Amino acid sequence: MTSSGVHTGRAMPLRVQNVDTDQIIPARFCTNTEKTGFADALFADWRAQPDFALGQPPYDGADVLVAAENFGTGSSREAAVWALSNYGFRAVVSPRFGDIFRNNAWQNGLMAITAPANFVEALWEAIEQDPQTPVVIDLGTLRVSGAGRIHTFALDADTQDRLLRGFDPIEATLQHEDGISAYERAREPTPTTRETFAAASRGLAPTSSPRPTPCGEAMSPEDTVKELYRRIDSRDFTGLASLFSEDAVYHRPGCEVLLGRAEIETFYQEKRTIDSGVHTLERILVSDGAVTADGSFSGRLVDGRKAAHRFAEIFEFTADGRFSRRDSFMFVPSF
- Specify the CATH number for the domain of residue 37: 3.20.19.10
Residue type, 41: A
Residue 315, beta-bridge partner list: 291, 326
Tell me what pLDDT residue 151 has. Answer: 97
Regarding whether 229 and 119 lie in a shared domain, the answer is no
H helix and E strand count, the chain: 11, 13
Distance CA 247, CA 194 (A): 23
For residues 138 and 32, state if they share a domain. yes
301 occurs within a structural domain? yes
Model pLDDT for residues 126-178, shown as the tens digit of each residue = 999 999 999 999 999 999 999 999 999 999 999 999 999 999 888 989 999 99
Residue 164, domain member (yes or no) = no
The domain of 45 spans 6-155
Q: What is the mean pLDDT of residues 318-322?
A: 87
Q: How far apart are CA 185 and CA 187, in angstroms?
A: 6
Over residues 107-135, mean pLDDT: 96
CATH number of the domain residue 237 falls in: 3.10.450.50
Last residue of a domain, one of 140, 155, 170: 155
Mean pLDDT (whole number) for 225-236 = 92
Flag whether 261 is in a domain: yes
Query: pLDDT tens digits for 267-319?
Result: 999 988 899 999 998 889 887 668 999 999 999 998 888 888 899 999 998 88
User: Does 85 have pLDDT greater than 90?
Assistant: yes
Residue 98 falls within a domain, yes or no?
yes
224 and 148 housed in the same domain: no
The separation between the first and the last C-alpha atoms of the chain, rounded to the nearest angstrom, is 31
pLDDT value for 332: 67
Give yes or no for a contact between 9 and 90, defined as CB atoms under 8 angstroms apart: yes
Could you tell me the pLDDT band of residue 214, with boundaries at 50, 70 and 90? very low
pLDDT over 70 percentage in the chain: 88
Classify residue 270: in a domain, yes or no.
yes
pLDDT exceeds 50 at position 203: no
263 and 125, same structural domain? no
What count of Cα atoms within 13 Å lies in the side-chain half-sphere of residue 219?
Answer: 17
What is the separation of C-alpha 195 from the centre of its chain, rounded to a whole number of angstroms?
31
Same domain, residue pair 95 and 218: no
pLDDT single digits (tens) 251-264:
988 778 999 999 99
**Does the pLDDT value for residue 100 go beyond 50?**
yes
The reply to whether 189 falls in a domain is: no
Checking if the pLDDT of 73 tops 60, the result is yes
pLDDT of 247 strictly over 60: yes
Query: Are 288 and 194 contacting, i.e. CB atoms less than 8 angstroms apart?
Result: yes
- 333 pLDDT band (50/70/90 cuts)? low
Is it the case that residue 33 has pLDDT exceeding 90?
no
| Residue 190's pLDDT band (cuts 50, 70, 90) | low
Flag whether 186 is in a domain. Answer: no
pLDDT at residue 168 in the model? 87
Q: Is the dihedral of CA 80, 85, 91, 93 positive or negative?
A: negative
Query: Among residues 331, 293, 288, which one has the least CA distance to residue 313?
Result: 293
pLDDT value at 87 more than 90:
yes
CA–CA distance, 311 with 113 (Å, rounded to integer): 34
In-domain check, residue 165: no
Alpha helices in the chain (DSSP H): 21-24, 79-87, 99-107, 117-129, 157-164, 169-174, 177-186, 194-201, 221-233, 237-241, 261-266
Asked whether 325 and 260 are in contact (CB, 8 A), the reply is no
Residue 23: per-residue pLDDT: 96
CA–CA distance, 190 with 209 (Å, rounded to integer): 7
How many whole angstroms separate alpha carbon 301 and alpha carbon 277? 9
Q: Same domain for 214 and 140?
A: no
Q: How far apart are alpha carbons 181 and 77 in whole angstroms?
A: 33
Strand partners, 134: 10
The pLDDT value given to residue 206: 41
Q: What is the pTM of this model?
A: 0.57
